[in-house]
Amino acid sequence: MKSKNYLARLTSKNQMTLPKGVSALLNVGPGDSVRFEVSEDGSVVLLPPTVRERLAPLLGRRRRGAGLAPEAVDAMLREMRGDIDE
């Protein structure tokens, strides 16, 4: 793969916008995070978020113990299907 160079400017608040080609390569978009890996020699690599980092906002949203009892779910499904209890 031929290497490409991209240029991004920093704002007065040290923010930057990723060039379109870079965000496409990393498969990231608005609201996503990226990782910067800095080696001992000072070189910097820009990396996409890990799967865990992508899923972090969703983790812990479902509370255990919340919801209906299995019997209540069965009864609700029977009612939705129109089953008649005999």
pLDDT at 50: 87
Work out the percent of the chain whose per-residue pLDDT is above 90: 40
Q: What whole-number distance in Å separates Cα of residue 23 and Cα of residue 49?
A: 12
Name the amino acid, one letter, at 49: P
pLDDT at 77: 85
Helices and strands (H and E) in the chain: how many: 3, 2
Q: What whole-number distance in Å separates Cα of residue 16 and Cα of residue 4?
A: 19
pTM, full prediction: 0.56
Tell me if the domain spanning 1-56 has CATH number 2.10.260.10: yes
pLDDT at 64: 63
H or E stretch covering 11 = none
**Comparison of pLDDT for 84 and 29, the residue scoring more:** 29
Give CA 11 to chain center in angstroms: 26
